[in-house]
Structure 1
Amino acid sequence: MDAVKRDAPRRRVTAQLRALRFDAGSLSLNLVATVGRRPEVPIERMGDAERLEAWCRGVGMTLEEGYDPQDVLRSLHELRAAAHDIASSAVDAHRPRQQSVDLVNLLARAEPPVPLLELPSDGEWAPKGNRALTKEELLSLVARDLIDLMTDDRRRSRLTACAFEVCRMLCLGSDGGRPRKWCSMRRCGNQAKAAGHRQKASAR
């Protein structure tokens, strides 16, 4: 289970550190990003029903009424741990656990919702409606997204980890152009540069 360590040194957890991220580049990576600061002191960003609803809204999905938030959270946390194990292997070349692969394959077997087109009235094509999903459909969509990511050579080659050593968020770099160094220049890029300046100043 992808749980936050309870015996790690305590640190001040700001609202920014707890904020959900939706800029990792794919649905499955946005799920992985619901744990922050993994290498240092992992920060749980999706630990209750309110955060679960916020994450679903952020990725453009809705769960069917009557779902058990704790049950859905447990399942998403298990998938999150497997997705991190698998996706990070493209960055550090470790071999993912067989249990991670088996879980993703099992969850992907459920049929996802059928995509539908709606004839546009304003010239903009869009999916028809936003049907509420069962837990199994949600998990299947995330698992299939991860499978698509890992089996697409071009996309997989763009997988990277934020260069800020206390972040290391997994994300997709741009397709062409300069490689993505930071998960966000505004967040980690600026912090890393400021830390570097402080280190140089203290060494003088």
Structure 2
Amino acid sequence: MHGMSTGRRLQDPKGGSFWFDAGAVCLDFAHTGGEGDYAIFESLHAPSDFTTWLAELGVVVDALSDADLVAAKTLRQAIWEVAHAQADGVALPAEAVAIINAAAIEPPLVPQLGTGWAPPVTASQVRSALARELIELLSGPLATRFRECASDNCPLVFVDASRPGTRRWCSMERCGNRSKLRAHRARHAP
């Protein structure tokens, strides 16, 4: 999904929102919700929510089914697990890798000059493109640049594409500023 703009505004369940750019569309997708404790972050409640998210990227899909949404969420969880494993420097979970590889086998989106993607765009093409992007990241020069936010209680993961490779925070607007404020208070505490 190269060439698409990355980053989106995430809602904080405690209130407010902040800009987060994971550095890749597949990782932005991984942060559209989650399972278990992360279900409070869910933004894809219905197939139309996924259609809207894709449209914001310039990808227009025909009507998606509930099964399409379930398959997308299964891939999303696999991307999340693999990205975190890569950031932690541990073996990639085999089941998640199998889900990503199965999605990548499907025909990808077909780019067209002037119109973006050749219609009709299917849900399996979208999943394939997301899976292939992650595979390219994991086998390319940014493979060692997967990072988890340095904040103690922030689970967000990103690819550090900055030239120096020193990005530490999910967002300076959120965790970076909080960390700077804590450090400032600690330095000036009586």
TM-score band, normalised by shorter chain: 0.7 to 0.9
* Number of the residue aligned with 1:157: 144
RMSD: 2.9
Distance (whole Å) between structure 1 residues aligned to residue 124 and residue 28 of structure 2:
18
1:170 has 2:139 as partner: no
In the alignment, what sits opposite 1:179? 166
SS across alignment from 2:62:
coil
Change in CA separation of 1:15 and 1:60 when aligned onto 2, cut-off 3 Å: farther
Q: Which runs of 5+ in 1 are unaligned?
A: 1-10, 119-127
Match of 1:135 among 123, 131, 139: 123
Length, aligned pairs only: 176
Rg: which structure is higher?
1
Q: After TM superposition, which residue ranges in structure 1, 4 or more long, deviate above 6 angstroms?
A: none
Please give the secondary structure, in 2, of the residue aligned with 1:96: coil
8 Å CA contact retained: 1:150, 1:156: yes
Change (3 A) 1:177 1:12: closer
* Residue segments in structure 2 that go unaligned for 5+ positions in a row: 1-11
Whole-angstrom distance in 2 between the partners of 1:85 and 1:178? 22
Equivalent residue, structure 1, for 2:6 = none
Does structure 2 retain, via aligned residues, the 8 Å contact 1:160–1:170? yes
Shift in CA distance, 202/51, structure 1 to aligned 2, threshold 3 Å: farther
Deviation, structure 1 residue 55: 2.0
Query: What is the one-letter code of the residue matched to 1:177?
Result: P
**What's the TM-score, normalizing by structure 2?**
0.78
**Aligned partner (choices 75, 90, 93) of residue 86 of structure 2:** 90
- 1:132 CA displacement: 4.7
CA shift, 1:138, in A, is 0.9
Alpha carbons of structure 1 residues 114 and 181: separation in structure 2 relative to 1, 3 Å: same
- Tell me the TM-score normalized by structure 1: 0.73
